[in-house]
Structure 1
Amino acid sequence: MNSYDQAVMAAKAISSKKGLDIQVIEIGDISVLADYMVIATGTSSTHVKALADEVEYKLDEAGISVSHIEGYRSNSWILLDYVDVIVNVFSDEAREFYDLDRLWQDGKPVDLTGIVD
C-alpha cells in the first residue's frame, strides 16, 4: 500500500467516526518529513482520542503499524507518525492555535470528494 492509500485510509477512518474538517495535503515535494499530512478536528478530548484510535486500528488492520505517537495523553492534539504519512487530530482550539493548514499551504490539497463525508 502506497502513502497516498495510507493517507486516504486514515481520512476514511476519521470520517467514519464523524471527524470534522478533514484535510489531506501532499507535502512530499516541499518537505522530507513525509509524503502526506492528514489534519482533522474532534469535538472533545474524548472524540480526539477516539479518532486517533480509529486511525490506528484501521491502518493496523491493513498491516501498517504506527511508528510513533505524540500527545496521546493530551486533551487537544494527537499525532500519529506512519513515516510517509503524518496524521494530526486536534481539538478545535488547538487546530486554530497551531494552524497547520496555513503552515502547509504550499502543499497540494488532495480532493476528498466522494472519499469522506
Structure 2
Amino acid sequence: MTPKEIAISAVSALDEKKGGEIAAIEIADLTALADYFVIATGTSNTQINALCDAVEKRLKEQGEMPLRREGYRDGTWVLLDYACVAVHVFSQEAREFYDLERLWRDGKRLDLTEVLTRD
C-alpha cells in the first residue's frame, strides 16, 4: 500500500467507529518523520482505544502492521506508528493542548469528503 492509501484506510476505520474531527495531513515535504499524520478525537479512554483497535484491525487485514503503539494505557493520546503514516487519536483536551494541526499547518490537508461517511 502507498502511504496515502494507508492514511485513507485509517481515516475510513476511524470514521466507521465515530471518531471525531478526523483529519489527514501530508507532511512528506516538511519532515522525515512520516508522509502523513492522521488525527482524530475520541470521547473517552474506551472510545480512543476502540478507535485504535479499529485502525489496527483494518490495516492488518490489508497487510500493514504498526511498528509501535504508544500511549494505549494512558488513553489520552495514542500513537500508531506505521513508519510512513502516524495515526494520532486524542482526547479532546489533549488534542487542543498539542494542537498538531497548528504545528503542521504548512502540511497539505487531504480532502476527506469522499472518505468520511458522516456529517
TM-score (norm 1): 0.98
Mapped to 1, the partners of 2:25 and 2:75 lie a distance apart of: 24
Instruction: Quote the residue 1:22 is aligned against.
Output: 22
Q: CA deviation at 1:114?
A: 1.6
CA distance in 2: counterparts of 1:23 and 1:74, whole angstroms = 22
- The unaligned stretches of length 5 or more in structure 1 are none
Structure-2-length-normalised TM-score = 0.97
2: distance between equivalents of 1:2 and 1:112? 17
Task: Note the alpha carbon deviations across 1:63-95, whole angstroms, 9 max, x for none.
Answer: 000111110111201000000000000000110
SS in 1 for 2:25: strand
Find the aligned partners of 1:62 and 1:32 in 2 and give their Cα distance: 24
Total equivalences in the alignment: 117
Identity %: 54
Indicate the SS of the match to 1:10: helix
Matched AA of 2:40: A
Look up the match of 1:31. Answer: 31
1:72 aligned residue? 72
Counterpart in the other structure of 1:46:
46
CA displacement at 1:25 relative to structure 2: 0.1
The alignment yields a C-alpha RMSD, in angstroms, of 0.6
Structure 1 residue ranges, 4+ long, deviating more than 6 angstroms after superposition: none
Q: Please, which runs of 5 or more residues in structure 2 have no aligned partner?
A: none
Aligned with 1:89: secondary structure?
A: strand
